[in-house]
Structure 1
């Protein structure tokens, strides 16, 4: 008994201390208000208005201010006790200020005196009360302890004395409150003596009753449970006049009662019936006073008991869980959110019941033992009630989210995504030996009911809110499409035929058409009509997802990719009739979807089904049709909505056109095999082409719609391309080093793909980026293109002499050696002509470098390696080229000088 009393006193002290901290700011503001009204001639009406505003702002922090809704000061004082005194005093002072001017001889209180007055107030009013209360409780405790040690009274008498002491404290608190209690100064508002006495009495009664049952066994579990619950509920009710802190004490005791009182045969109905009464009582009190913390704490405590109960039993009582979930939602909708609640705002308190009721439904659906015993049916009923509660009370939006998330998780866990070798038995789905125990006969009917529920309620609510509350409308529209799609996807993956399932495909196409029709129906209710807001965007996005599922369910891999790419045309064409922003983005989404498919399977139909016939195979339509469709969609969007979706479609068209060429070349070069696991130069060449193409696309997008992201991205794409080429093409994967096969086709071979195509792409990007990007960027790409062209020409000569394999260790003949000198000289001259033609100093410098390399080769290598006529031809050719270059530059300089003189 003594230990319980000590704990009770400590808890009481902590609670009052925290309450005092929360009220300090309120007291300071009220004190400043009185100073302002006493020191200036403020009209009484202004003072009253200021006091009323202050009272409303602090209504949730303290019980005395929450009683300020009455019209007269006497009624406020009677209901709120001392807490209304500061406001009443403010009104009196305000009235005095309007009738009498302050005396000039009245002394002005200095900051030092104010500080002394604050310390005096704290010591004489607040701390004296707290310490006195603790001393009173300890005195009673020591008296009871003395009777125990001296053996004066037995256990029954001691418990009776403790109970009587608690009742006396409660009675004293009520007596003090009813005797027109006044707090003389605002600084003593935190030391509300009636509430402190009542709380001390409640703790004492709780301890006495628990000791009578748990320690001495004087009363049975049922009677103790009844008494503890009754005291807790009465304490919560007493909070109407004593404040929210006392309600918290009562709630804490009510929630602790089931744990304190043990029973040999616990009843789920008894436990949750009691919790339902506690929740309802706390809800009514919280609704009257608008105490959000009390309401949230009540939902949290009772919800925590549901989790404790479900964790402690093998199979819970489903009816109890369903009924208590209904009670929780009823308290939320018909008690807490009743009356004149602001329906345009989301109530954050509703998050707590949404979480716990959602956990209850999810546990009934996914825990194996519970699921096999019929839990999903009861979980579906709870989800229906959650949707109904959110539909009835719009501020309870978190309950809708919880219902949708629970539904999605419940069906996602059925999909065999954790184990690709999952076995499907007639009665259950198995993943890695764990039985999820959701049968087809149960999952599909429940899924149909829940899908129709979300669609029906979602469309109805979305149309109801779309004109005034677009956010609520969009939320309902989202779940109206998300929940049915998740259910359809999971049932297909768990119980359908993954390769081809026409039944699920039919449902998917019906959903697609239904969502489109629903979007049109909702759009006509907009204000103004046919704007295409967030709710319509959700519906059309859902139709696109349903169409995607239809393609995967009804067709094979190849047709799915082709039709998915072609699907980008439909939203673009629809922009002729509706200027909804989402239409263009749906076309752009098709680009992302096709990219994801080809990234997952670049062969389009699988390596074993890809024909080895060059050109006419699945690669041509798999990459070419999307390229054409994206191009047409970009052309269509340019004439209607325009904007960034059109730029994305242009980028997609260019990218897939490049991929079409690259993949066909690789297919032909590798004999029909393009997905080899070993890294090859051909694979790297495709990546390089994509990077260069992406650089050009980003430059184009940035020029049409400037963006720092696009500008930096284009520079990054060029730099990455240069690094890939230098590291992979020239060194790591160079056929001279790896001796990789260059292909049997003379021209369309690995060298064409890995060097000539990237050279053309680099030159094109360098030319296109001139004036649009920094000079170093264009120069880098031009040099890169020249190096690639040099490598292609040199390696092609090597292949001409060596055949399919051109490793450097296979030696070099004299004619081949001479050919390199001639080739490099010709290329140097060509670069010089092009550099002069286009005014590119970079190309002219590259020409000089290449010719210098040729000169060094002739003098350092050809002189020693070549013999006879080849040596002579090597030097003759070199001399002729150098003389020709000299003449070319002399004529160029002569014409330049003549032009300058003519200008002068």
Structure 2
């Protein structure tokens, strides 16, 4: 059976090639004659009889151009055959190939109306389809009614098919003409021929698949001959016939069904149809036709896999490999590399890649398929990669093969069955259902991974200069597929906590990708530029290295080593200026950030030591902070791009996180998830943020960086927001009644209000001239408010002790003390504002004194009695008068100094 199919395909090659040569010769002759007539305006007979040397210069040029043009796309040039060349040229010169006279060019051509379209074009097309369907339905009716025996039914069907083809040939040979514009698309000979081919395809298939009159070998031979006939007819009648023939071929198994179909017969038949269609499409460069053929074959494969009670993996592998062979050897065959990769070629490859990849994915992961059949899917994957290597336009096959492999191993791994518990403060893994690999062949994973790795790196190096996009694709899949297989096997068969065996395999893959990336970069022009292909390979090495650390070490060491790993690519920039190296450092920072987000305790809250400072928090946050800082320093001296800014931000972030987590750990007795922070803890966070803002400003002054500049602004704004919402409102001892401590000065009020006030004021002074004006103003105002709060709450503590809750009420002396305190503070702040030349302090002084005045006149007048009320007003008056005298003296001195300067000048 297979030998006859192979012979039929060889015969198909020979006949089509011979026919193609004959038709190309006829086309060249007709093109030459078309070029002669417009040049001299002579009659066809005169042009044919005139020797070449008797033509004028223009005519000779026209002939030469026509000969150089080669074959044309005018399919109707073959209607009358090569035996009637003169008559055909006469028709062509009278038609659209002949230039119109000027008088006729000026008049617009009337478009065909609906009546013409319905009566000519659509009537012919619908009639042809009805003729073909009628023949098949007649056969089906005879089966259901039992009118004729099987032999008679098949004979009548075959006669109907041959009669339709004969009618089409008769109409074509008798000089069929289409004088009406718009009706030429309904070419009657092609439609009659298509209907006949449609019926004959169904007849042969029924003779084998339903009645068993002919065996598989005979069926293959007859179907091959029908394919050859369809090719020959399509070359004469045009693409429409090939499309109709393809549609009929694909629909035949539907219309003539069998109770016990043979998948080998079905897909052998489809393979022959696909090959025949690709031949004719290749000769005429009909991309749409071949896309339809690949799509139809792929849909038939998926339909079989969805409908069959038991899928035959070898059958699916056969049709997939046959489709790939047709794509690589027939449709894409003979296209030189210098022609480039066109969009139609990519679309045809994409159609095949998508459908073949889906069938491979089902073949590997479908639980209904017996174990061990995954090897057939692996063979198809290997064929896809080989076809993509052999033909550049078949690059979509690489994407299909890679995607199918990655999805298959992801499906077989326990990633989709992992269970998380979200009831606690942080999600925890509570269960993983391990699935057995479908293939049950460990070496299959190794072969697939090694195949993608070797083919990808080799192809990337070969194409890195002439097709950098293709090279990047190969390098990318060379990293993604082996990594996915390794990850799946580790999760399925390995120890998730730590497994040195898979860590060694990851180290081998890491080394191969690093060497491969360097190997590709050396082939670049200029060498060692670190383009996309090398970047993908090195990027895959970086990701593999991060996972290798997870495989080899426990939680704590993994986090620490991930942070330290950021140094490696940063230091590598001393020898290679690859752009990807800096981003590998940034990737390590992101990986560490993801780990601490999942487990802030680094080693798990249950295993975290209660020893202050010297515990896993110091290593888990401190080491990455130092590593990121060193990486930023190194990158600033080599590549100095955006990765350097990312590493600076990561270093600052982890530095703050380290201090904050250590503070929380110390203040909560070794527990970091004990609930909301206290005022003391929040005060430390605020001091850390203000200190970080000052550090970032200082670093930015020494080494300007947008990350440092905006980071300092963000740190200052976040500090102010924390002070306003936490210190003044949420955690204010007046509202929480939190104990402030028994020591008179060194207590909670000092930590939560006075120290942040000093820090904010110092940062405001330091940032003057280095940051926008609003930044220093904001910090100065917050500093003044913190001083005000500290003094006021200290008075409250003096009268009420450690607990300052407002519900305890306010005594007369306490109320008077606030007024006196605010007035004194206003005077002191005013003096400092004058001394320092700070308008902000002077405005704060005025605001504080205004608050004191309002309190005295509104609150003290009703709340105080006797001598305290009088003292309140007396003190207020004295202060206000003193401030007035002070300002008068200040203004007088300023005026005298100004006059002295004017006199001196």
Task: Report TM bin, short chain.
Answer: 0.7 to 0.9
Instruction: String of CA shifts for 1:178-203, please: whole Å, max 9, x gaps.
Output: 45666568755424332233234445
Contact 2:668 2:674 in 1 (8 A): no
Q: Say whether 1:175 aligns with 2:170.
A: yes
Distance, in Å, in 1 between the alignment partners of 2:62 and 2:699 is 66
Q: Hey, what does 1:566 align to over in structure 2?
A: 564
How do 1:371-770 residues align onto structure 2 when only pairs under 5 Å count? 373-421=371-419, 436-438=435-437, 442=440, 444-676=442-674, 726=724, 730-732=728-730, 734-738=732-736, 752=751, 760=759, 764=763, 768=767
The answer to whether 1:267 aligns with 2:265 is: no
State the distance in 2 between where 1:594 and 1:85 align.
78
Larger mean CA deviation between 380-389 and 820-829 belongs to 820-829
CA distance in 1, matches of 2:192, 2:351: 32
Pairwise CA RMSD: 5.4
Q: Distance in 1 between matches of 2:90 and 2:582?
A: 62
Alpha-carbon distance in structure 2 between the residues aligned to 1:43 and 1:431? 87
CA drift at 1:823: 5.8
Q: How far does residue 339 in structure 1 lie from its aligned partner after superposition? A: 0.6
Task: Provide Cα deviations, 1:548-582, integer angstroms capped at 9, x if missing partner.
Answer: 11222222323222222222222222221111112
Q: 1:860–1:373: structure 2 CA closer, same or farther, 3 Å change rule?
A: same
1:278 aligns with 2:263: no
| Secondary structure of residue in 2 paired with 1:498 | coil
Instruction: Quote how far apart the aligned CAs of 1:755 are.
Output: 9.3
Contact 2:39 2:59 in 1 (8 A): no
Please state whether the residue corresponding to 1:413 is helix, strand or coil. helix
Q: CA deviation at 1:699?
A: 13
Decide whether aligned partners of structure 1 residues 74 and 305 sit closer, same or farther in structure 2, where only a CA change above 3 A counts: closer
CA distance in structure 2 between the partners assigned to 1:333 and 1:754 by the alignment: 77
CA contact (8 A) 1:418 1:431 kept: no
Cα distance in 1 for partners of 2:568, 2:385 equals 34
Find the counterpart in structure 1 of residue 230 from structure 2. Answer: 235
Greater alpha carbon shift after TM alignment, 187-196 vs 733-742: 733-742
Q: Can you list the C-alpha shifts for 1:260-311, whole angstroms capped at 9, x where unaligned?
A: 2333332222222222212222222222222111111111111112211211
2:465 match: secondary structure: coil
Alignment match, 2:11: none
Q: Is 2:328 aligned against 1:329?
A: no
Aligned to 1:340: 335
Structure 2 portions without partners, runs of 5+: 1-33, 42-56, 422-428
C-alpha separation in 2, matches of 1:47 and 1:310? 58
Q: Which whole-Å CA distance do the structure 2 matches of 1:744 and 1:527 have between them?
A: 75
Q: Give distance in 2, aligned partners of 1:294 and 1:710.
A: 60
Task: Give the 5 Å matches for 1:186-265.
Answer: 188-202=183-197, 234-235=229-230, 237-265=232-260
CA contact (8 A) 1:300 1:353 kept: yes
5+ unaligned residues in a row in structure 1: which ranges? 1-32, 95-101, 424-429
User: What secondary structure is seen at the aligned counterpart in 1 of 2:259?
Assistant: coil
SS in 2 for 1:340: coil
SS of aligned partner of 2:414: coil
Q: Any residues of structure 2 matched to 1:130-149 within 5 Å, and which?
A: 130-131=122-123
Over 3 Å counting, the alpha-carbon distance change for 1:527 and 1:130 in structure 2 is same
In 2: Cα distance, 1:336 partner to 1:762 partner = 77
How far apart are 1:640 and its partner, in Å? Answer: 1.6
TM (norm. structure 2) is 0.76
* Pair 896,242 (structure 1): closer, same or farther in 2 beyond 3 Å: farther
Q: TM-score, normalised by structure 1?
A: 0.76
Are positions 1:310 and 2:272 aligned together? no
Moved more, 639-648 or 821-830: 821-830
Q: Is the 8 A contact 2:198 2:249 kept in 1?
A: no
Map 1:869-880 to 2 at 5 A: none
Q: Is the 8 A contact 1:769 1:778 kept in 2?
A: yes
Give the SS at the match of 1:675: coil
- For residues 488 and 528 of structure 2, what CA distance do their matches in structure 1 show? 34
Q: Report the Cα distance in structure 2 between the residues aligned to 1:764 and 1:736, rounded to whole angstroms.
A: 28
- Aligned twin of 1:353: 352
Call closer, same or farther: CA 1:555–1:162 in 2, change over 3 Å.
closer
Residues 132, 860 of structure 1: CA spacing in aligned structure 2 closer, same or farther, 3 A cutoff? Answer: closer
1:537 is displaced (CA, Å) by 1.3
1:392 CA displacement: 2.0
Taking the aligned partners of 2:685 and 2:341, their CA distance within structure 1 comes to: 51
Q: Rate the CA distance shift 1:119–1:694 in 2: closer, same or farther, 3 A.
A: farther
Q: 1:562–1:621: 8 Å Cα contact kept in structure 2?
A: yes
Cα distance, 1:732 vs structure 2: 4.7
Partners in 2 of 1:283 and 1:897 — Cα distance? 101
Equivalent residue of 1:368, what SS?
coil
Determine the C-alpha separation between the residues in 1 that align with 2:711 and 2:535. 29
**Is the CA contact (8 Å cut-off) linking 1:364 and 1:379 kept in structure 2?**
yes
> What is the Cα deviation at residue 313 of structure 1?
3.2
Q: Which moved more, 1:762-771 or 1:389-398?
A: 762-771
The alpha carbon displacement at 1:259 in A equals 2.3
| Count of residues in Structure 1 that have an aligned counterpart in Structure 2 | 831
Task: Name 1:362's counterpart in structure 2.
Answer: 361
2:223/2:272 contact within 8 Å kept: no
